[in-house]
Amino acid sequence: ITYAIKHLFSGPALSKHQDVFDQPALNDFMGLGHEAWKEARMFLQKLLSANEPTLRENSELRKRAFVPQASTIMHLPAKIGDYTDFYSSREHATNVGIMFRGKENALMPNWLHLPVGYHGRASSVVVSGTPIQRPVGQMRPDDAKPPVFGACKLLDIELEMAFFVGPGNKFGEPIPINEAHEHIFGMVLMNDWSARDIQKWEYVPLGPFLGKSFGTTISPWVVTMEALMPFVLPNPVQVPKPLPYLCDEEPYTFDINLFVAIKGEGMSTPATICKSNFKYMYWTMKQQLAHHSINGCNLRPGDLLASGTISGPDPENFGSMLEMSWKGTKVIDLGNGHSRKFLQDGDEVIITGYCQGNGYRVGFGQCSGKVLPAISAP
């Protein structure tokens, strides 16, 4: 819609930047900052309101402005220069820690002091609807035997959300936490596909690599932070208190209902396997951003920062099949005789989410992908 009506954006923040709506991605618009975002949002709301004649009474402009959804091909909302994935759900980190290290050592010593994260692969972030090929790689299913090569057998999902960076920071200049919100444009749904058997063998000592880099799916619609502010919640109590550069009293946790469903081959309808909420996150987006830049790392418009798996206190809130099946020891019931421990070829994973207002919802659309069989090894 915006490229056809860019001349109508004549407010003080956008009148000299109408060219941002000619671009194939939102990076330039993201880089303009809050005043431009707010002005664009308010103008579009006015333009689409029932009592606004600009489009209603101009059939030619209306024809150029609107594209039928059925004939639309969605793309990534931004050109993603860098992608970072955090590990910010205490429940998820605790569950995984119990599985692999025992209850006494569930959380690593650093976890309660900083938002743990790693640099992911931006080139394999894909838009919702893109099929995901089952990855191949090295695994060591039997610790008493040498590693083997083959198709991943423990393919998993991770329910996540991610935010796009707006204006960046200069190289060498950290973003103070009390200014971090000025650099956060908006949020999308994410599925961080994970090859658990490949990941388990490779991750020591440098962390995830091929077990993650084969594909990450995001929803095409970005919900701006301004649209989410009516759903803000108090931040979780953090004990011990973080170091000063991570301390922030301003609420920045959000009530976002999240769902994961699987539709396997032979299933007539998807089966919901997870009902979670973004409010369960321990580390906030502002803390993640402040920590990411504290060493002087420069972030740029369109960079993507992900939450990590979003798990809650109850089994129905677990955001990965690793947790739902408790490392493959339990069956996940999909109904009508279907069950899973991990993903099978042909499974479609569908993530949805929304914020519930008084008589209205703010939706995030859909983040989906279908598992294709592994390619033959070279």
The answer as to whether 27 is a domain residue is: yes
Residue 272 shares a structural domain with residue 337: yes
Residues belonging to the binding site for Mg(2+) are 192, 212, 216
> Which residue, chain included where needed, has tokens 């019931």?
333
d(CA 95, CA 167): 36
- Quick one: pLDDT at residue 69? 87
Residue 332 shares a structural domain with residue 281: yes
> Which residue, chain included where needed, has tokens 């991750």?
203
Domain count along the chain: 2
- Quick one: pLDDT at residue 377? 66
* Strand-pair partners of 333: 339
pTM over 0.85: yes
Among 92, 181, 291, 292, the active-site one is 92
Residues belonging to the binding site for Ca(2+) are 85, 158, 160, 192
Residue 273 shares a structural domain with residue 138: yes
d(CA 143, CA 146): 8
Parallel, antiparallel, or unpaired: how do β-strands 257-263 and 271-277 relate?
A: antiparallel
92 is catalytic: yes
SS3 125: strand
d(CA 303, CA 188): 13
pLDDT band at 4 (very low <50, low <70, confident <90, very high): confident
Q: What is the CATH number of the domain that holds 193?
A: 3.90.850.10
Q: Cα separations (Å) of 144 from 137, 199, 200?
A: 19, 18, 15
Spatial CA neighbour of 196 closest among 88, 375, 323:
323
Reduced 3-state DSSP string for 132-165: EECCEEEECCCCCCCCEEEECCCEECEEEEEEEE
pLDDT above 90 as % of the chain: 95
What are the tens digits of pLDDT across the range 317-361? 999 999 999 999 999 999 999 999 999 999 999 999 999 999 999
Task: Work out the widest C-alpha separation in the chain, in whole angstroms.
Answer: 75
The domain of 63 spans 2-71
